[in-house]
Amino acid sequence: MATTPPAEPGLSVRGVSLRFGGITVLDDVSFDAPRGGILGLVGPNGAGKTSLFNCISGHYQPTAGSILVGGTETVRTPAWRMARLGLARTFQHPALRLDATVLENVMLGAHSWLPGGPVSWALRLPTTRRHERQARDRALELLERTGLGWAAHTPADELSHGLHKGVELCRALLSRPSLLLLDEPAAGLSHGEVEALISTVREVRQEFDLTVVVVEHHMGLISALTDRVVVLDHGAKLMEGTAAEAQSDPRVVEAYLGKEVGAA
């Protein structure tokens, strides 16, 4: 009887190391993020989580190792090309154009799939205008579903830090990703905003069949949202398992969580 081969992971990290001069930032890190799953990266400041994100997203080139997004090797692929491979990312500190409206910021996420180039965009050809309308409609839809529809035409600098996080998430989703990296999405959010974020990420993961990898210190979010976690310690993988297993692992308690274990 023929068997179905296992699905290719949404993200595969193999033996990734990163060194700056004589400093080892990442040391032989390996893990898979199953396609359609939500994986958490856990660790204190300086553990290497954001550096690993920078390697995955093409902002850093690893010293050694392999990174596959949907089965495609991406090491040495520049960051600006990663969106075309299906990767989208948010940042600890949202990178928005504060002088532009919320809608204009979200529409920047369509650059990876809008057809044509600078010439056709400048000439405002009919095909270009049609696709721009599609991008605008989709951007407005995303803003509505995340509770930000009211702010579409508001300058971004008039919104709070927490709302900037929502705008950046909408921009990432507009790029039509298959792999979504969330870098501390709960930082600066209220309890209610965290609950709304958990619900939104669950919904979009299912609707768009996304693989999600999230870096977060908020253990309540990690416990509620993720299927599995990878725990980093000084740039190396300490353990991998469920959030509950991580919180009960003595090594993790000692190295990372301490008094934060079980905190919301």
Q: What is the pLDDT, as a whole number, of residue 261? A: 43
User: CA-based Rg of the chain, rounded to a whole angstrom?
Assistant: 19
Does position 119 have pLDDT exceeding 70, yes or no?
no
Tokens 């965290």 — which residue?
194
DSSP state letter for 75: T
Going by their DSSP bridges, the two strands 11-20 and 23-33 should be labelled as: antiparallel
Percent of the chain at pLDDT > 90 equals 50
Q: What is the rounded distance in angstroms from the CA atom of residue 96 to the CA atom of residue 156?
A: 7
Name the helix (H) or strand (E) containing 187: none
Task: Tell me what the pLDDT averaged over the chain comes to.
Answer: 86
The string of pLDDT tens digits covering residues 2-27 is: 444 456 789 999 999 999 988 999 99
> Would you place residue 143 in the very low, low, confident or very high pLDDT band (cuts 50, 70, 90)?
very high
Which residue has better confidence, 262 or 181? 181
**Residue 22, class by beta-carbon neighbours within 10 Å (0-12 exposed, 13-18 middle, 19+ buried)?**
exposed
Q: Where are the domains of the chain?
A: 9-86+177-258, 98-174
Q: Is 89 helix (H, G, I), strand (E, B) or coil?
A: strand
| 9-86+177-258 CATH, one of 3.40.50.300, 3.90.1150.10, 3.40.50.880, 3.30.1330.120 | 3.40.50.300
Q: What is the rounded distance in angstroms from the CA atom of residue 244 to the CA atom of residue 178?
A: 27
The string of pLDDT tens digits covering residues 162-178 is: 889 899 999 999 999 99
Q: What is the pLDDT, as a whole number, of residue 226? A: 94
